[in-house]
């Protein structure tokens, strides 16, 4: 069995160096308690109907969570992700076609003062 799509997207981000300086996590954010740590959380976020032998669209949410006081770094990481996806919309056979949906949303702050971007990606995949 192939890994779930959010895991494949995480693997691609790691291989492309997009998670450098971040702790990559799946499904939920598990804070380390260290305000100097940054995180990327990959989770499924719906999509189209998944059928045998047909392509389907998978939505993957990526939360990019910066360190406290690291607003510029997290902002640069988000832009690097968007640039990479735009330049490489078909990165490998495990993902198929990936694109950003909705652009870069307004970031929000956690109660600790961490900047958080929630990026949405659509992955069109079929065998």
Please report the DSSP string for 56-117 in residue order. Answer: EEEEEEEEEEPPTT-HHHHHHHHHHHHHHHHH-SS--TTT-EEEEES-SPPPEE-TT--EEE
Task: Inform me whether the pLDDT recorded for 18 exceeds 50.
Answer: yes
- Whichever domain contains 23, its CATH number is 3.30.2000.30
Confirm if 61 and 88 have CB atoms less than 8 A apart: no
Q: Tell me: the pLDDT tens digits for 87-101?
A: 988 888 778 889 999
Lowest mean pLDDT among 3-17, 62-76, 89-103: 89-103
Q: In sequence order, what are the residues at sequence separation of 6 or more whose Cβ sits closer than 8 angstroms to the Cβ of residue 57?
A: 47, 48, 122, 123, 124
Could you give the percent of the chain with pLDDT greater than 70?
A: 94
Q: Which pLDDT value is given to residue 108?
A: 94
Whole-number average pLDDT of the chain:
90
Domain range enclosing 74? 5-125
Q: Which pLDDT value is given to residue 66?
A: 95
What tokens does 92 get? 């490998």
Q: Tell me: the pLDDT tens digits for 109-123?
A: 999 889 999 999 999
Q: Tell me: the pLDDT tens digits for 26-68?
A: 999 998 889 999 999 999 998 877 776 667 888 999 999 999 9
Confirm if 42 and 7 have CB atoms less than 8 A apart: yes
Task: Inform me whether the pLDDT recorded for 125 exceeds 80.
Answer: no
Is the pTM higher than 0.75? yes
How many independent structural domains does the chain possess? 1
Task: Inform me whether the pLDDT recorded for 1 exceeds 50.
Answer: no
Which of 74, 5, 76 has the alpha carbon at shortest distance from 39?
Answer: 74
């Amino acid at each position: 069995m192939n890994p779930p799509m959010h895991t494949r997207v995480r693997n691609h981000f790691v291989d492309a160096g997009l998670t450098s300086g971040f702790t990559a996590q799946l499904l939920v954010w598990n804070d380390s308690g260290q305000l100097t740590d940054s995180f990327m959380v990959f989770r499924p976020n719906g999509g189209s109907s998944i059928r045998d032998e047909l392509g389907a669209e998978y939505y993957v949410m990526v939360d990019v969570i910066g360190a406290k006081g690291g607003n510029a770094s997290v902002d640069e990481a988000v832009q690097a992700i968007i640039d990479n996806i735009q330049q490489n919309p078909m990165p490998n056979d495990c993902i198929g076609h990936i694109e950003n949906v909705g652009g870069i949303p307004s970031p929000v702050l956690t109660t600790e003062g961490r900047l958080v971007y929630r990026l949405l990606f659509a992955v069109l995949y079929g065998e």
